[in-house]
A and B are shown apart, each in its own frame.
Chain A
Amino acid sequence: NAGVTQTPKFRVLKTGQSMTLLCAQDMNHEYMYWYRQDPGMGLRLIHYSVGEGTTAKGEVPDGYNVSRLKKQNFLLGLESAAPSQTSVYFCASSYSHTISSTDTQYFGPGTRLTVL
C-alpha cells in the first residue's frame, strides 16, 4: 500500500514549456486534490475532483488544467509554464462522501517545480 505517490519529484522548466504532474493513489479514494505551497502562503487549492471523470476549480486554477480519467489517477497540466508557477505541488486524496464527513486528506510527498 503506497498511499499517494507523485511523479516527478523535481522538475525545471523554461518559460513557455509544458508538463504534466501525475498523482496516483491506491486507497480507492473518491476525492483528489492538487495544491501549491509557496513560502508564507500555506497551501492553496488549484483543482479538485469528487470522482472519476469530474473536476472542479479551486482557489488558484488559472494556468492549470486537470484530468481524472481513472479513479486512482489525477493529472495536473501546465500548458505554458510561467515563473509565477514556481512552487511545490502537493496532491492529496480522501474518502469523503459528504461535506460533513470526518475523513481526512492523505498527501503525497510533493513535486518541486522551478520555472526559469
Chain B
Amino acid sequence: SQQGEEDPQALSIQEGENATMNCSYKTSINNLQWYRQNSGRGLVHLILIRSNEREKHSGRLRVTLDTSKKSSSLLITASRAADTASYFCATASTSGTYKYIFGTGTRLKVLA
C-alpha cells in the first residue's frame, strides 16, 4: 500500500507563479524527502526534512512538515518552464526497515 499520497495529481500554472503540492502519509516517519522526475528520466532528490523539523528551505523550494497531521507540502516559488516535471514525496518509516515508500506524484506543468 502507498504510504504517501500527493495532492493535487496534476497542476498547471503560469511561469512566475508559485506551485504548491501536498503529501499525506499514514505511519510515523523518520524523515520525508521530495524528488523530481523529468519525463522519461530517473528521480532526482530535491530536499529532505527530518521528523523533528517543521520547515526547510533550499533555493526556490520550501518544504513544511506537520507530523500531527501526517502531511508535508512543497512550495516552488517563481516557477520556471524548467520546473515542469512530476514531484514525489518519499517517507522513511520508523518501523525498522531500510526503505522508502513513494507517493503517486504530482504532475506540474509550468506554461511559458
Chain A residues close to B by CB (< 8 Å): 4, 31, 33, 35, 40-45, 48, 50, 58-59, 90, 92, 96, 99-100, 102, 104-110
Contact, CB under 8 Å: A109 / B98: no
> Which positions in B face A, CB cutoff 8 Å?
2, 4, 30-31, 33, 40-45, 48, 50, 88, 90, 92, 94, 96-105
| B100–A42 CB distance below 8 A | no
Q: Is the CB of B96 within 8 A of A110?
A: no
Which residue of A has the minimal Cβ distance to B33?
A: A104
Q: Are B42 and A43 in contact (CB under 8 A)?
A: no
A108 near B42 with CB under 8 A, answer yes
Q: List 13 A-B contacts (CB under 8 A).
A: A42-B2, A42-B88, A42-B102, A43-B88, A50-B98, A58-B99, A59-B101, A96-B98, A99-B30, A99-B94, A99-B96, A99-B97, A109-B41
Residues of A within 8 A of B99 (CB): 33, 45, 48, 58
